[in-house]
Structure formats: C-alpha cells, structure tokens
Amino acid sequence: MAEEPASTARRRLIPALEADGGYRRLAVSEGEQHAFRDELGGGVLRPGWLRSAIPLLVLAHLSDTHVMDHQSPGRAELISRYSDPDSAVRAEVGRIGTYRAQELFTFQVAEAMVRAVRQTKAGPVSAAPVDFAIVTGDATDNCQRNELRSYIGLLDGGEVVPDSGDLDQYEGVSGPKVDDERYWHPEGGPQDIPRSTYGFPEVPGVLTAARLPFMAAGIGLPWYAVFGNHDNLLQGTVAPAGWLREFPVGGVKYVTPPHGIDPADIIRRFDSADGAALRELADSARLAVTPDPGRATVTRTEHVREHFRPGARPLGHGYSKQNVAEGTAYYPFDHGPVRCLVLDTVNPHGGWQGSLDTRQLRWLQAQLAGAVTRPVILFSHHSLETLVNDARPPGAGRRVLGPELRDVLLAHPNVVAWVNGHTHAHAVSAVTDGQTGFWQITTASHIDWPQQARLIELLAVPGGLAIASTVIDTAAPTAYQGTADPADLAALSRELAANDWQIRELITPDGGGGAGAASDRNVILGVEWPRSPSHGRLA
C-alpha cells in the first residue's frame, strides 16, 4: 500500500495524559490498519483480492468545514452555555454547538486539510491518483457571504482574510471587553471557566494571529460542492428572514443572556426554526462591533451562483446554470463507469435536520432508473438517520423523510454507497433489507474532534466491488509551536477540540466522540456486483 502524508493508517493522534483541569495534549500513536467488512459483499473480499483489483474512482471527502466569521453578530454563542457540564438543563437541551473555543481557527483548519489533500498523490490502497474532492455541506457556518467567498477561496487558492468588521482589532467573545466566564480568553483578562476549571491555556497574541491574511494553497483537484443546513440557515437552523436578515450586518452582538429566561423553551423554539425565540435574548449583555455588509446572508441561489468563478474546476464546482435558474442544488455527474448523484437535503423552511421535496425525489428516481447497469454513489449533507425534518408552512408541499427515501434506494440495487456528513462523527453502516443494500459512509467535521477527512477508493474486484475508506488528518504539526502559521494554528485548534469541555469525557484514545469506532474509520467494504434488478424490488 502506498504511503500518504496524513493517513491514519500510518499514525494516529490521540489524547495524552491529563494535566491540570483534565486538559490533554496530543500524542502520536501507531497507525490503524484497514479492517474488512463484508456484510454486503457476498464474499468478494477473498485472499488476494487486491492483486486483481481495478481502480474506478479515488476521491477525497471533506465535510462540515464550518468556515466561520466568529465575530459576527449573527452567531448565537451565548446559548451554548446551557450544554455545559454544570448546566441545570444540559440533559434536556443536549449539545447545542453554537460556541467552541477552537472556532477562532476554522480558516486555518480548512487550509491545513486542503494542504493534506493536495499532498496526497494517490489512494493508499489502490495507489491510483486522487480524482476529485467533494465537500458535503456546512462549508460555511452562518450562511454569510464573506464566509462563502472565503471557503471557495480556500479550496480554489488565493488570498483569504479570516477577519471582518474592524480589521485593526478583534471584536469577538474571546476578547477582554467580554467579561463572561463561559468564554475562553486566550490572552488573559477576565476570569473564565475554560482556564480556571478545564485547564485551557493562555496563548498571547493568538487573537491577532488568527485574523492575519494568508495565501491559500488551493486543493489542486477538481472539487464538487454539496449544500448544507449551515450554508442556508442562521446557525444552521433559522431562516434569515425579516429582522434576522439584517441582524448579522449590524453593530450589536449579544454575548451574555439575561437572567430570568427559560433556556429550555428558547432552545426548543430555536430548534423548531422559530426565529422569534431569539427576540427573548434582546436584553442580553451586548458588545458593540463594527457593522460589515460582507456579513449579509445568502439564499440557496446566491450560494450556488458564487461557485461560478473563473478557473473553477469544474465550472460551478458541480452546480449547473440550471441550478441557478431553478433555485435548486442537486445534480448528477459521472466519473468513468460511476454515476454520482448529489442531493440537497436542506429543508428551506428551517430546522437543522434534513429532508427532500417531492420534485427532487422524482428527479432522483429518474436518475437511478437511467443508470441501472452502473454503480451509483450518492452524496449529501445529511445522513439517512437525520432525514427527519418535516417543517413546512401551511400549504407547502410534503417533505420526503428517511424511511421513504431508504425504500426508494433499496428498490434500486445500483446504489452501492451514500457519502455524507452533518453528524460531525465518523460512521460506516450497511443499509440493507436482506436482499440488497448499500454502504453509508459518514465523515467527521473539521470543527469538532478529530478534525479529519477521508479518502474513499472504489475498486472493481472479481465478483464485486471494494470500497476502501482511509481517514486522514490535517497537515498540521502534532503540537502548537507558538507561531502565526496557519498549520500551527490548526494544530492548536485540534488540541482544543480534543478538550472541548462539553464532550471531552466521550473522547478516548480508542475513539469516541467524533472519532467513532475503529469500524467507522479505516475499513474496506465489500459489495456484490453486478446486481440484477431482482436484487431489489424493481422486478
């Protein structure tokens, strides 16, 4: 097998021994070899299978980059505290995810991952060149134009500016003007729980370093885009309509919630896409920030249109002019004998979970029927289990949820894999009805631990197909060295993510949290192929 710079088959990074407050640095561990899973393979992964394998496709899968304007008024960091370990409503509200200490460095993490993919010359199993990359949604955090243009710039290459508002000063919740103990203050100042209780470090100068412009290398491959809920909705949940559409460009940022509110009720309403719930935060402690028209929110059509830049590979990064004209974000493309279908699983009516409309379902059925002799790979933001969002105003068409879509896919035995993100955790599962099935491959995020991506290789083998999955790390050093280099800041971000006080009890050297289990990471998956219509319910 070929050696790759960031492959976790060569080495893994794991949390090391605890220091004060339970804070853990990262340590290098031995690589994780590929495990074999043959629930759908009919025994195709026999000894010696690799010697006669023919590579069909090698892709880099990135998901949930969350390129973030962390100084924006449009963010809701102040409600994330209700998920803290000492919160009285933690069990009721679950993980909210609107604030993380490492969110200062999303630009640098994206750059370090792009560099890791660029350095990867071949698939580690097939030794075949990487054909393309795909970003399965939540490329941006808050559907803002400046985030969108920055994410595209990070992948295409060129100068990016990880700053907004007043470019001469930091104006976010981690600065000394915000006297709130729930936020990490890396440069000292107000006392905070992350430093005093959880052992988070002081890092002088980092608020300036995180905002410095840099030249993005570019991924050096054709890359395709997939639409995610954070690309369309404020904080991935609420449609930016009415006063919420103007709020992100303004000069007021809410930082500390007022006393006397019912946090569980506000979060329930927020989760159900009730933007009016945020009005109850109007009495919050505020921070004056510099207004910035670059923070304007974008519609789905505007999001798609931004991908048509000169030199884009391919033009539109998969989106077509028809997508722009019709306001859609789903499309097909082919790579050799493989049909690739990109879905739009975002519910435009709001809510962070997914669903499809009936028009897209009809399109999908027609695409599958037209490719009966070809292996089909689906790409989407949401996973099958998270297609549960039936939000819609009166008179709107029905939404297609997971069980219905599962039945449609199992009725088409040419579907061999579904690649997605959204959950911020590695997972690999066989979806089957006992007659046919496909592999669902979900990849972790760039913002939460372990900040990884995947290489996915599709190979033809005697009697079937093999899908090889290899998790890769960013091109960041193991430990932060104290510089302003983007890769160094990405190393700090990864360490902070491993210590996120809301979830760190789930993170172990063996996995846990977003890392999943070993069977969700470096695996080789068998698929019986070809399949006749009788394998499904087409006959």
pLDDT tens readout for residues 357-409: 999 999 999 999 999 999 999 999 999 999 999 999 999 999 999 999 999 99
Asked, for residue 336, whether it belongs to a domain, the answer is yes
Q: What is the CB neighbour count within 10 angstroms for residue 123?
A: 27
Cis peptide before 450 (omega within 30 of 0): yes
- In this prediction, residue 354 carries a pLDDT of 98
Asked, for residue 357, whether it belongs to a domain, the answer is yes
Asked, for residue 82, whether it belongs to a domain, the answer is no
Distances (CA, A) of 409 to 52, 196, 226, 317, 405: 30, 51, 19, 25, 6
Asked, for residue 198, whether it belongs to a domain, the answer is no
pLDDT, tens digit (0-9, with 9 covering 90-100), for 490-534: 999 999 999 999 999 999 998 889 999 999 999 999 999 998 666
Asked, for residue 245, whether it belongs to a domain, the answer is no
| Range of the structural domain that residue 367 is part of | 11-65+103-166+221-238+297-535
- In this prediction, residue 538 carries a pLDDT of 36
- Number of domains making up the chain: 1
Asked, for residue 400, whether it belongs to a domain, the answer is yes
Asked, for residue 178, whether it belongs to a domain, the answer is no
CATH number of domain containing 424: 3.60.21.10
In one-letter notation, the amino acid at residue 60 is: A
Q: What is the pTM of this model?
A: 0.97
- In this prediction, residue 278 carries a pLDDT of 82
Asked, for residue 197, whether it belongs to a domain, the answer is no
- In this prediction, residue 123 carries a pLDDT of 96
Give the residues of the chain that fall short of pLDDT 70.
Answer: 1-5, 532-539
CA atoms within 13 A on the CB side of 468: 31
- In this prediction, residue 164 carries a pLDDT of 98
- In this prediction, residue 454 carries a pLDDT of 98
Distances (CA, A) of 461 to 325, 527, 530: 41, 9, 11
